């Protein structure tokens, strides 16, 4: 059997996803002294990499190096496998090897490594690679720019992301749909909805067709700005552009209308969602349960819980936390603790948010003994209190006039590397001054300013009164 027939058999088995047979004939071919063409080897290697068999593909690549004539695409495929496996070091080793073999670096390999660095949160390395490309005379393409822009934004390097977008256009590389979606998303995250619309208009003028992600991003941005009616109008634009609303579209709008108290509109959208053949998700039900719970409409809440269970969707920890929070807001702590106990009974473990809403409810009712017990019980189950929980407890202690306990928690926060908020410092200073402990109050005031927190004006007056007496009151 000749090389051509072997290669035909190997390619056929790869196409039919019969990897073991493909490898069998590949090894048999090599053992007979026949040398497969790079295309055949690359086809087999690519399948191994895409099958999430990284270690196997790595071993296959290295064992075949002496038997097969590799090309730049062979290295590109293996580098992509390294990046997808999160093994950047091996990826960079292969880049060096390929250059030592005399293969000219190409845009695809560099873009693959830049993407891998960004996905592994090593954005500085990605940036260095990008500028190394320029030094080598390699022109970055739309994908290169987009993955690095996205990497910058995900790392919180907003300025770098926007500057790279400007550079992209100055270099004559036109943004594609994914670039625009990335930019629009960041503008919405930054609450720059007008800038997001400018980008949307720009992409339309350039003939770049938007997709459901583009519209969903804008709808989310508008809802965050409480411009819910404008967000709903975008659905009409989507329809005219022959883009169907999906579950994300409906969930975002339902949440938007719930947030402004228009439960009738939220329910109407929920009904439309189902009539359009879209199955509601856990997120859909959680949003509606939260909206109706906040309105105290427990009958509707019960209906939603029953309906979701009939659809095979079990209430989650988030669902129970929503219910606990709603009852705590209505000062029904007995019912809140009922759901707290029940969620554990069904095997759901409360998280820091669950404890946060329970503690907030107890502190609001002045039940600091119960709050203290619950707060300390978190340590027993190894749940670290958040800064929000500490601030809630500090304010609760201050309301009952317990400066000692408030100070102790402030110290505990500092030890954990958490920063108390202005309200916590102000409340503690207030209760210290009431106790005549103005020296300790001044220490806290100085600490506030060191942390860059701006004390309210009344704090200075409170300390002055405690320090010098009522005759200085103005």
The tens place of each residue's pLDDT in the chain, 474 residues long, gives 677 776 777 778 777 778 788 778 677 777 777 777 888 888 988 888 888 788 888 888 888 887 888 889 999 999 999 998 889 999 999 999 998 888 888 999 999 999 999 999 999 999 999 999 999 999 999 999 999 999 999 999 999 999 999 999 999 999 999 999 999 999 999 999 999 999 999 999 999 999 999 999 999 999 999 999 999 999 999 999 999 999 999 999 999 999 999 999 999 999 999 999 999 999 999 999 999 999 999 999 999 999 999 999 999 999 999 999 999 999 999 999 999 999 999 999 999 999 999 999 999 999 999 999 999 999 888 999 999 999 999 999 999 999 899 999 999 998 998 989 999 999 999 999 988 888 999 999 999 998 899 989 899 988 888 888 744 454
Q: Both tokens of residue 25?
A: 């004939």
Contact 19, 52 (CB under 8 A): no
Q: Report DSSP letters for 48-64, one per residue.
A: HHHTT-HHHHHHHHHHH
Look at residue 256 and give its three-state secondary structure.
helix
Residue 29 has a pLDDT of 75
Which has the closest alpha carbon to 300: 266, 324, 277, 276? 266
Q: Look at residue 352 in the predicted model and tell me its pLDDT.
A: 96
Distance CA 160, CA 169 (A): 15
* Euclidean distance between CA atoms 378 and 366, whole angstroms: 20
Which CA distances in Å does 470 have to 86, 202, 464, 465? 66, 64, 9, 6
Domain 1-104 CATH (choose: 3.40.50.2300, 1.25.40.10, 3.30.830.10, 3.30.70.260): 1.25.40.10
Every domain of the chain and the residues it spans:
1-104, 247-307, 315-385, 401-474
How far is it, in rounded angstroms, from Cα 33 to Cα 26?
Answer: 11
């Amino acid at each position: 059997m000749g090389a051509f027939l072997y290669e035909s058999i190997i390619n056929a088995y790869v196409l039919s996803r019969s990897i073991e047979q493909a490898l069998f004939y590949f090894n048999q071919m090599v053992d007979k002294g026949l040398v497969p063409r790079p295309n055949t080897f690359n086809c087999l290697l690519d399948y191994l990499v895409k099958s999430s068999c990284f270690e196997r593909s790595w071993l296959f690549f290295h064992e075949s190096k002496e038997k097969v004539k590799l090309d730049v695409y062979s290295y590109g495929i293996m580098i992509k496998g390294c990046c997808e496996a999160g093994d950047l070091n091996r990826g960079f080793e292969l880049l060096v090897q390929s250059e030592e073999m005399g293969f000219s670096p190409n845009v695809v390999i560099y873009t693959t490594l830049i993407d891998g660095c960004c996905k592994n949160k090593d954005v500085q390395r990605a940036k260095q690679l990008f500028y190394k490309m320029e030094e080598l005379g390699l022109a970055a393409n739309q994908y290169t720019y987009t993955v690095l822009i996205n990497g910058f934004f995900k790392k919180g390097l907003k300025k770098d992301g926007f500057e790279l977008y400007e550079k992209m256009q100055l270099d004559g590389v036109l943004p594609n749909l994914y670039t625009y979606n990335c930019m629009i998303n960041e503008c919405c995250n930054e609450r720059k909805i007008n800038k997001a619309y400018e980008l949307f208009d720009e992409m339309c003028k350039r003939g770049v067709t938007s997709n459901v992600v583009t519209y969903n991003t804008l709808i989310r941005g508008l809802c965050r700005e409480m411009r819910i009616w404008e967000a709903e109008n975008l659905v009409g634009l989507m329809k005219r552009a022959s883009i169907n609303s999906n579950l994300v579209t409906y969930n975002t709008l339902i949440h938007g209308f719930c947030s402004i108290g228009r439960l009738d509109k939220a329910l109407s959208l929920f009904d439309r969602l189902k009539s359009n053949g879209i199955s509601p998700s856990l997120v859909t039900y959680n949003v509606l349960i939260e909206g109706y719970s906040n309105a105290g409409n427990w009958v509707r809440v019960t209906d939603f819980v029953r309906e979701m269970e009939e659809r095979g969707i079990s209430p989650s920890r988030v669902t129970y936390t929503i219910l606990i929070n709603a009852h705590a807001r209505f000062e029904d702590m007995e019912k809140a603790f009922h759901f707290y106990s029940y969620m554990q009974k069904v095997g759901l473990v409360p998280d820091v948010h669950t404890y946060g809403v329970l503690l907030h409810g107890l502190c609001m009712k002045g039940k600091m003994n119960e709050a203290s017990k619950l707060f300390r019980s978190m340590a027993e189950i190894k749940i670290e209190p958040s800064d929000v929980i500490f601030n809630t407890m500090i304010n609760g202690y201050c309301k009952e006039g317990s400066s000692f306990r408030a100070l102790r928690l402030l110290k505990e926060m500092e030890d954990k590397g958490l920063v108390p908020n202005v309200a916590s410092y102000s409340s503690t200073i207030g209760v210290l001054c009431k106790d005549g402990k103005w020296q300790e109050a001044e220490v806290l005031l100085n600490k506030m300013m060191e942390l860059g927190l701006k004390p309210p004006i009344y704090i200075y007056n409170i300390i002055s009164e405690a320090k010098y007496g009522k005759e200085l009151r103005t």
